[in-house]
Chain A
Amino acid sequence: MAQVKLDIYRYDEASGQPPHRDLVSVEIPETTTVLDALETAKAEVDGSISFRRSCRSAICGSCSMTINGHTVLACKTPCNTVMDDEGAIKIDPMTNFTPMKDLVVHMDPFWDKYRRLRPYLQPADEDSAHERERRVSPEDMKKLVDAANCVMCATCYSLCPVISVDPAFAGPAAIAYAYRFIEDVRDAKRPERLAQINEDYLWLCAHCYACSACPKHVDPHDRIVDVKRASVQDRVMMNERGPRHALVVGRTIKQTGMLAETEVIQGTIGRFNVAGLLKVAPLGLRMAASGKMPPPFLKPIPKVDEVRTIFDTLEVPTH
C-alpha cells in the first residue's frame, strides 16, 4: 500500500469562483490506476470531485485528463508510473478544452469537428432497400482497422499544438476518422469528404507527432498523411498551399537532390502571388540583414541522376 497524494484542479463554472487546487490523500496499492485513485478519493474523502469515466479499461475513452502535464487516459495510467518521491500526482483537466467542473471539460468543439466530417458510412445505394449486408474483403478492411480503433477520447486533440493556437484546424482525431470512411470501399462520398477535410485545414498538421501518444495506437499522424496522399491522388484543391508545398519540395529534391529553400518558399506561395510574397517579405528582409539568406540556386548533389531515377521509378507526383 502507498500514500498517494492527488493534487487536483478544482473548479465549478456555475459557481463563478476562480479555480483552486485540493490535495487529497488516499491509501491504495501503488499499482492502482489514477482513475481508481480518483474513485477512492471521491468515495472516501470528497464526493464532490468530478471527472468522467465509464468502462475503466481503455475502451470508452471517457477519462482523458492531464496527469503531470501530459494528457492520458487515467484508467490506463498506474499511480507508480507518475507519482513523485513523495507520492504526489498533479491532475488537471485536458488542455485545449474549456473546463466545466473539476476534470470535466466542454467537449463540444471536439464533437462538432467530428460531425462536420459525417462520421458514418454513406453508401451509393443508401436510400434503396437491399437484401444482404455490404461486404468488404479482409484486405480492404485491414486498411481501416487502426483508424476504426479510435475511442474518441480526445487525447490527441488535447495534445495537438496547432489546435492550441488555431481551433479552426480539424485536429488529429477527426481527420483519422475521416480516413476510415475515405478509404472504405463501401462509401460513395470520398470526393465530398476530401473537399470538406481540405476546407477544415487538413494541411495545417505540423507533423509534430504529439498525437503519437494515442492510447489506442490509431497513429493519427500517419492517418493524416494517408488522407493527404488520397487528396493529392484525387487532385483535390491542388492550388492551395498545402499540396503546392508538398509538390515543390519533391520537385526541388528531384532537381537538385536537396530541398531548395528559396524555391520552396516561392513555389508554395506562388511566384506571381505578389500579396502573398509581400507578407513573408519582412522576415526575408530580416534574414537578409543578418546575412542569412538561402542561396537562390542550388548546385545539384553528385550523382543527382540517381535521385531522379528514384522519383521516376516510384512515379512520385511533382506537379
Chain B
Amino acid sequence: MRRYGFFPGCVAKESCKELFNATMLLAEKLEIELVELTAASCCGASVVNDVNRDVARVLNARTYAQAEALGLDDVITICSTCTGHMRAANKELLESEAHMDHANSVLAKFGAKYQGNVTVRHLLWLLVDDIGLDTLRSMVVRPLNGLKVAPFYGCHIIRPENVNGWESARAPHSLEDVISAIGGEPVDYAGKTRCCGFHIQLEKENVAADMVGQNMAMAKENGAEAVITPCPLCHLALDGYQADSAPRWGRTDLPTFHLPQLVAFALGVPAERLGLNKHLIDPRLVLVDRELIA
C-alpha cells in the first residue's frame, strides 16, 4: 500500500471536519495510506507573509523536516491555499541556498534539519497522476448519473504558475476530468478559476459575498446543479455566502461538495458517512433528484 505524508491543514481540522473524514474514507477506497503529520503547524495561510517575509518559509521547513524524519517525502494536501503556500516556501528553500541555510539555522535551535527532499502535491494531483483517471473510472460503483457539476479550483492550486505549474492556470481541466471519470457532467464557466474572496471576508462587508455571487451566478447560468472544490476555504465561502449574495446576484443555492466527498461517494462510500449534513446548502437534495440516494 503506497504511503504518503498527509498535511490536512487547519480548516479540515476545525470548521470543515467533514473534509478530513471524507479524505480518510476515500483513501481507504483507493487503498493508499495517508499518514497525518500531526506535529505540523499551519502553512501560514497566505496571511503571515503580510507581517514577516521569512516566517512562512521557516514554518514549512519545520513541517518538511518532520516529513523527512518519518520517511514521508511525498506530502499530500487537501487545501488549495496550503498547496500554493507550501509549494512556494519549498521553491524558495530549494532554489536558494541562503534561504535553506537560514531556515536550517532556525530549525537547529530544536535539533531539526530540512534536507530538501519533500514534494508537496494536492490530493487532486494524486488522483490524476498516481491513481489515474482510467483506474478511477474503473473503481466507480455509483456513477453520478450525469449530475451537472461546476468545478471551482480556487486560486492557490493553479496560481502563480511558476509555483504550481502542474496544469495551466488559464485553462485547467483536472477537476473536469475527475467529474467525468465519476460519471458527472462538468459545467464550463468563466468563474471556475476566479477567487472566492475567502481571504478578505472580514475585511470589508459584502465583497467576498459579491465574489461568490458573481461566480455562482455564472455556474448556475451554465446549468450547474452542484459545485465541487479542492479547497475548504473556497468551500466555506461558496457554501456560506450564497445566502448573502442572493439579493444582488440572484438566488443560486448551489450545493458545494468537497472533492473527496463526491469521489468517495461515487466509489461507494455511503452518503451518510460523508458529512453532507454539515453543509449549509444541503447537497443531498441534488443526489436525491438524480436518484443517487433515496
Asked if B271 is at the interface of the complex by the 8 Å CB criterion, the answer is no
A314 and B55 in contact, given A286-B280, A303-B110 (Cβ under 8 angstroms): yes
Q: Is the CB of A310 within 8 A of B202?
A: no
Q: Per-residue 0/1 for B251-281: is the Cβ within 8 Å of any A Cβ (1 yes, 0 no)?
A: 0000000000000000000000000011110
Asked if B133 is at the interface of the complex by the 8 Å CB criterion, the answer is no
Chain B: which residue is nearest A258 at the CB level?
B10
How many CB-defined contacts (below 8 Å) exist between A and B? 191
Asked if B222 is at the interface of the complex by the 8 Å CB criterion, the answer is no
Asked if B145 is at the interface of the complex by the 8 Å CB criterion, the answer is no
A207 and B11 in contact, given A229-B52, A314-B52, A314-B55 (Cβ under 8 angstroms): no
Among A26-34, A172-180, A244-252, which stretch is in contact with chain B?
A: A244-252
Q: Is the CB of A301 within 8 A of B38?
A: yes
CA distance A243 to B45 in the complex (A): 15
Q: Is the CB of B59 within 8 A of A310?
A: yes
Q: Is the CB of B39 within 8 A of A203?
A: no
Which residues of the other chain, A, contact B106 by a CB distance below 8 angstroms? Answer: 309-310, 313-314
Asked if A311 is at the interface of the complex by the 8 Å CB criterion, the answer is yes
Which residues of the other chain, A, contact B190 by a CB distance below 8 angstroms? Answer: 69
A245 and B110 in contact, given A161-B195, A287-B15, A293-B15 (Cβ under 8 angstroms): no
Q: Is the CB of A162 within 8 A of B202?
A: no
Asked if B50 is at the interface of the complex by the 8 Å CB criterion, the answer is yes
Q: Is the CB of A316 within 8 A of B202?
A: no
Minimum CB–CB distance for A140 against chain B, Å: 17
Q: Is the CB of A316 within 8 A of B52?
A: yes
Asked if A120 is at the interface of the complex by the 8 Å CB criterion, the answer is no
Minimum CB–CB distance for B45 against chain A, Å: 5
Q: Is the CB of B46 within 8 A of A306?
A: no
CA distance A303 to B41 in the complex (A): 10
Q: Is the CB of A166 within 8 A of B202?
A: no
Asked if B159 is at the interface of the complex by the 8 Å CB criterion, the answer is yes
Q: Is the CB of B211 within 8 A of A162?
A: yes
Task: Sort chain B's interface into a size bin.
Answer: 35 or more
Which residues of the other chain, B, contact A113 by a CB distance below 8 angstroms? Answer: none
Asked if B13 is at the interface of the complex by the 8 Å CB criterion, the answer is yes
Q: Is the CB of A302 within 8 A of B155?
A: no
Q: Per-residue 0/1 for A288-316: is the Cβ within 8 Å of any B Cβ (1 yes, 0 no)?
A: 00111111001001111111011101111
Partner of B197, one of A161, A243, A258: A161
CA distance A290 to B44 in the complex (A): 28
CA distance A219 to B88 in the complex (A): 14
Among A149-157, A189-197, A261-269, which stretch is in contact with chain B?
A: A261-269
Which residues of the other chain, A, contact B23 by a CB distance below 8 angstroms? Answer: none
- Please name 8 further chain A to chain B contacts, defined as beta carbons within 8 Å, in addition to the given A241-B202, A253-B59, A306-B112, sorted by A numbering: A207-B156, A210-B159, A212-B162, A241-B203, A242-B50, A249-B45, A303-B110, A310-B59
Contacts A/B (CB < 8 Å), 7 sampled: A165-B214, A208-B159, A209-B155, A225-B49, A225-B50, A250-B51, A290-B278
Leading 8 A-B pairs by shortest Cβ distance: A208-B195, A209-B159, A212-B160, A165-B210, A294-B14, A246-B50, A302-B39, A294-B15
